[in-house]
Amino acid sequence: MKTIKFGLKSSEVYYLNELLEKLKYSVIVSDYFGTQTNKAVKDFQLKNNLVVDGIVGLKTWSALIEKSKEEFSSNNKLLSEQNLIDFSKAHNLELAVVKAVNEVESGGKGFLVDGRPKILFEGHIFWKELEKRNIDPANYANANNQDVLYKNYTKKYYLGGAAEYTRLEKAIRLNPDKKFSDAAKCSASWGLYQIMGFNAVSIGYASIDEYVKKMYLNEGEQLKAFGMFLATNNLIGLLRNKKWADFALKYNGPAYKTNKYDEKLMKAYAKFSA
């Protein structure tokens, strides 16, 4: 693991925050090394006879991983080279194209350290999903539920990591009716590619429950879901013809220009095809 410290933003920081959360530190699980993370790291270093400098290098990483006794330590859930080869053959795509898209569009890791798929719960989508099922969300919107049920999009209630499951479960518990469970699961994005649950049936799954079950298996299944999503939305042809800007626009929306997704895809392809 690379050395990280206060102020950095990276996938390694996300993993650090996951480990700290598992060790009962009050941190927001994100890819930013902020004040809370810095405080937690220094406290961990102090309690484990390490130099208290807030810098997470080899010794601190080793101690964190050992102390966390992480359950998700094997590679049986991780994406493999064969998964990418199979994907490229299934969709008649160059392997370099598949690797480029995987590098740019994946979240880096599809699972939490406890072995559950990574999710992000969207309360405004939950509102819409309840309406789809002829349930008036206003009847359940109150101060106690404002973090899981709201009409308009906001990042305000994001917690990240395992805490997103706490939000999901809270939404499910609003009512024992199966419609609430389905609506809640449809309101979370799942796994390596963060495909929203409400896409499940339209891309080929029998139900939201089948989709969620598959997301729990491994990153290879999450890659399959990504392929089903791309095929359903007519994006495979754009990749086949390397129309990076057109693909980025349809997959990421107009913000792709700001984030330079098309340029990132082009550079990644050049690297993998070399």
Identify the DSSP state of 95: H
Task: Supply the pLDDT for residue 108.
Answer: 76
Residue 123 included in any domain: no
Contact 125, 197 (CB under 8 A): no
55 Rama sector, left if φ>0, alpha if ψ -120 to 50, beta otherwise: beta
Residue 206 included in any domain: no
Q: What is the pLDDT of residues 20-32, one digit of tens each?
A: 998 989 998 888 9
Contact 246, 237 (CB under 8 A): no
Task: Supply the pLDDT for residue 141.
Answer: 95
Q: How far apart are CA 251 and CA 52, in angstroms?
A: 43
Is pLDDT of 106 > 90? Answer: no
pLDDT > 90: percent of the chain? 78
Q: Which domain holds residue 54?
A: 11-68
Confidence of residue 33 (pLDDT cuts 50, 70, 90): very high
Q: Helix or strand or coil: residue 199?
A: helix
Q: How far apart are CA 250 and CA 241, in angstroms?
A: 15
**Structurally, how many domains does the chain consist of?**
1
Residue 5 included in any domain: no
Task: Supply the pLDDT for residue 194.
Answer: 93
Is pLDDT of 43 > 60? Answer: yes
Q: What is the pLDDT of residues 115-142, one digit of tens each?
A: 899 999 999 999 999 999 999 999 999 9
Residue 50 included in any domain: yes
**Start-end of H helices in the chain:** 11-22, 35-47, 58-68, 81-90, 95-105, 123-132, 163-172, 178-186, 200-203, 208-215, 219-232, 236-240, 244-252, 256-259, 261-273
Task: Supply the pLDDT for residue 164.
Answer: 95
Is pLDDT of 148 > 60? Answer: yes
Cα–Cα nearest to 11, from 81, 101, 107: 107
15 CB burial (10 A radius; 0-12, 13-18, 19+)? buried
Confidence of residue 273 (pLDDT cuts 50, 70, 90): very high
Task: Supply the pLDDT for residue 255.
Answer: 85
User: Crossing angle of helices 219-232/208-215, nearest 10°?
Assistant: 140
Tell me the pLDDT of the chain averaged across its residues: 93
Is pLDDT of 16 > 70? Answer: yes
The CATH number linked to 39 is 1.10.101.10
Task: Supply the pLDDT for residue 75.
Answer: 60
Residue 205 included in any domain: no
Q: How far apart are CA 106 and CA 14, in angstroms?
A: 14
Residue 52 included in any domain: yes
Cα–Cα nearest to 140, from 105, 176, 98: 176
Residue 112 included in any domain: no
Confidence of residue 68 (pLDDT cuts 50, 70, 90): confident
Is pLDDT of 229 > 60? Answer: yes
Residue 21 included in any domain: yes
Q: How far apart are CA 177 and CA 203, in angstroms?
A: 25
Confidence of residue 61 (pLDDT cuts 50, 70, 90): very high
Q: What is the pLDDT of residues 73-83, one digit of tens each?
A: 556 788 999 99
Q: How far apart are CA 211 and CA 202, in angstroms?
A: 11
Q: How far apart are CA 116 and CA 21, in angstroms?
A: 15
Q: What is the pLDDT of residues 182-225, one digit of tens each?
A: 999 999 999 999 999 999 999 999 999 999 999 999 999 999 99
Is pLDDT of 70 > 60? Answer: no
What the block records as the tokens of 1 is 């693991």
